[in-house]
Amino acid sequence: MDQQLSQLAEVALVNKRIPRTVHEGKIKFTGQRFDWTEGFFPGTCWYMFELTGDEKWKDIAVELEDEFIDHRLITTNHDLGFVFNCSFGHGYQLTKDEKYKQVLIDAANSLITRFNTTVGCIQSWNVDRGWQAERGWQFPVIIDNMMNLELLFEVSKFTGDEKYRDIAISHANTTLKNHFREDGSSIHVVDYDTITGEVRNRHTAQGFAHESAWARGQAWGLYGYTTCYRYTKDERFLKQAGIIAEFFLTHPNLPKDHVPYWDFNAPKIPNELRDASAGAIVASALVELDGYIANDYKQKAQSIIESLSSEKYFASVGENHNFLLMHSVGSIPHGAEIDVPLNYTDYYYTEAIYRLKK
C-alpha cells in the first residue's frame, strides 16, 4: 500500500490536483470546480499517516487539501460532508488545528442551507440544469446523502450547537421512512413535493432500474445508519443498519467472494461487472457495526478485505496508475467510470484496514 500510494501521491503533488480515477488510459484528476470525490485521497493520506506514523503522509494531506479549501463555502452542492469530513475532519481529529475546525464549521453551514423543514431532508441535486433537470424532480434526495451527516454530527459536538445534529437526525428519520423496501433494500432517489413534503417518485439514477438494489446505494445506507447510531444511540438506526447488512450479506446474488455486482438485480448476473467500491464501503461499515451487534460482522468484513486484497482486485505496484484497487463502477447508466479504479474505493479500503487493526 505504502509504495503504491506514494507513487500516486508524487503524481498528485506534481500536478497539484487530486487523482480521482483513470479515463482512456490516463489519470483523471478533480478540477477547479467542486467535485464530490476531492476529499478522498487526502483522507487516504491521513489514514496512511496513522497506519505508518510517517509524517510525509500528513504533509501530503495538508498540501492537497489546499486545492479545494475554498469549496467549503459552496451552497449549490450536497456533498460537503464527503469532501470535508473525510479530509479536514480527519485532520482535525489528529491535529486539533483551529483552522481545520473553522473549515468544518463553514462547510456545515453551507450544507444546512439545503435543508427543507417541510420535507425534513437536505436536498441532493439541484434540478434547474443538467440531466437532473430532465427527470421532472422537485426535491430529490439520494441514499448517498446519509454519508454527509457525519459532518453535521461532528460540528454539533465540538460547537455545542444542536441545530446541526437536529438536521442530521431529521434527514436520517425521513430517509428511514421513505427510502427502504420491505426486504431491506434501498431506493436510490426519493423525490419530494416541496409544498407538502410528500413523496412524488421513487427512482434510480445509477442503478439498473427503479425497483432494483444498486449495490453502492446499499453500502451508503449501511455505513450511514451505523454512523448515525454512533452519534445518537437511537436503536432504530442500529436496527436499520442490521437489516441492510443482512440484505447485503445474505442476498442470493452476492458472489462467494462478497464483492458485489454493481446492482443486485443486474440482468446478466453472473456476467455483470463487480463494484469494489461497494465492497470496500460495506467492509468498513461492518467493522464498526460489529462493535454494536454480535453477529460476526468483523469476520465478514475481513472476508471482504481478503477478497479485495487478492490479485483479482488489488493492483501490483506500479500498475493501475498507482491506485490500489481495480474493478469499481461509477455509473453504468451514465456511461461513466466503468470498471476502473476510484479514489473512494481506495479510501474505504484503507479505512477498513485501519479499523480492523485498531
Q: In the Cβ-directed half-sphere of 117, how many Cα atoms lie within 13 Å?
A: 1
Q: Which of 35, 106, 144, 263 is catalytic?
A: 144
Contact 323, 315 (CB under 8 A): yes
Find cell 459536538 and name the residue: 157
**Bridge partners, residue 199, by sequence:** 192
Query: Where do the DSSP E strands lie in the chain?
Result: 19-23, 26-29, 115-116, 121-122, 139-142, 189-192, 199-203, 328-331, 336-340
Residue 191 annotated as catalytic: no
Residue 144 annotated as catalytic: yes
Q: In the Cβ-directed half-sphere of 4, how many Cα atoms lie within 13 Å?
A: 18
Closest CA to 270 of 253, 258, 249: 253
Q: Which of 35, 59, 70, 79 is catalytic?
A: 79
- Give the whole-angstrom CA distance, residue 105 versus residue 122: 17
> Radius of gyration (Cα) for the chain, nearest Å?
19
Active site residues: 79, 144
